[in-house]
Amino acid sequence: MAALDGLPPLRDVIQRHGLDAKKALGQNFLLDLNLTQKIARTAGPIENHTVIEVGPGPGGLTRAILALGAKRVIAIERDARCLPALAEISDHYPGRLTVIEGDALKTDFEALAPGEPVRIIANLPYNVGTQLLVNWLLPKTWPPFWDSLTLMFQREVGLRIVAEENDDHYGRLGVLCGWRTDARMAFDVPPQAFTPPPKVTSSVVHLEPVANPLPCDVAALERVTHAAFGQRRKMLRQSVKSLGGEALLARAEIDAQRRAETLSVEEFVRLANALG
Ligand code: SAM
């Protein structure tokens, strides 16, 4: 499609720079600029924000974020082949795009734009997406350095992020996200929107930090959710046996006959705090 920002169509960019998609890097590119704009708009106002993007690839989403007026974009890309294409975008928007070649999993995100309001927007590589989200949910201090996360995942992962109790997708990720954020499903994206198309539907989720999450030790919360969901079909008296079983549940005032997926986030926090 014709680009609205005066830059060449993404298909030409990909061809000119020889950016054939590498599966190992989770490369499924979005070429539809209406869709990339929809993702960028989901983040909310960005004019006063520094936007951090993981995995810009040939730059479709990057271009949408810049065209929508982000003050500044810092993009972390592991594939050096993409850098010349991204340099063209940087030249088109002088002083607004910084590209860092590197592995997002090894990046100190808090140090990228200290003191500036930050939103994170990304069509994440599937193999590292969940780990990155967990890292962003567990910074040293809270509220975190970011004002929002607008992220594309496989739909299955998106459902786990927004899941609440009594939902089949509810698990450790849902508890963690429900504890520290307001997470919502924004919209689905079908496989054919990508080049090459992945096997499954994707979803964009949007998370904002809650100002005052219930006080709880992260490691304790991880231990109780790991134990409880490790045997999700069993009664809690069995699944959390190694952590204190019925005595622990009694201290948290939770019925030992219940199952993990019926506990609210608040009840998991109680359980973690009862662990001591
Ligand atoms: N943002 C582009 C788009 O929407 O079309 C590309 C998204 S593609 C799903 C994921 C991108 O993340 C690829 O460009 C890939 O090279 C990059 N990537 C993969 N692993 C990465 C990592 N560990 N750190 C940074 N970038 C990574």
pLDDT in tens, the chain (276 residues): 456 689 999 999 999 999 999 999 999 999 998 999 999 999 999 999 999 999 999 999 999 999 999 999 999 999 999 999 999 999 999 999 999 999 999 999 999 999 999 999 999 998 999 999 999 999 888 999 999 999 999 999 999 999 999 999 999 999 999 999 999 999 999 999 999 999 999 999 999 999 999 999 999 999 999 999 999 999 999 999 999 999 999 999 999 999 999 999 999 999 999 997
Taking CA atoms only, the protein residue closest to ligand 1 atom 18 is 55
Domain ranges of the chain: 2-209, 218-275
End-to-end Cα separation, the chain, in angstroms: 58
For domain 2-209, give the CATH number.
3.40.50.150
Count Cα neighbours of 160 within 13 Å in the Cβ-side half-sphere.
Answer: 16
Atom of ligand 1 nearest to the CA of 10: 5
Ligand 1: distance of its center to the CA of 208 in Å?
Answer: 23
Rg (CA), the chain: 21
- Structure-token pair, residue 188: 């689905």
> Distance (Å, rounded) from C-alpha 23 to C-alpha 190?
18
151-164 residues labelled b (16+ CB within 10 A) or e (exposed):
bbbbbebbbbbbbe
CATH architecture of 218-275: Orthogonal Bundle (1.10)
One-letter amino acid at 128 equals V
**What DSSP state is assigned to residue 167?**
S
Protein residues whose CB sits closer than 6 Å to any atom of ligand 1: 25-30, 54-57, 60-61, 76-79, 82, 103-105, 123, 125, 128
| C-alpha 228 to ligand 1 mean position (Å) | 33
The domains spanning 2-209 and 218-275 adopt the same CATH topology: no
The answer to whether the CB of 64 falls within 8 A of the CB of 40 is yes
Place of tokens 């995995």: 55
Per the CB < 8 A criterion, the answer to whether 53 and 75 are in contact is yes
pTM for this model (two decimals): 0.96
* Nearest-atom index, ligand 1, CA of 105: 23
Give residue 237 CA to ligand 1 midpoint distance, Å. Answer: 43
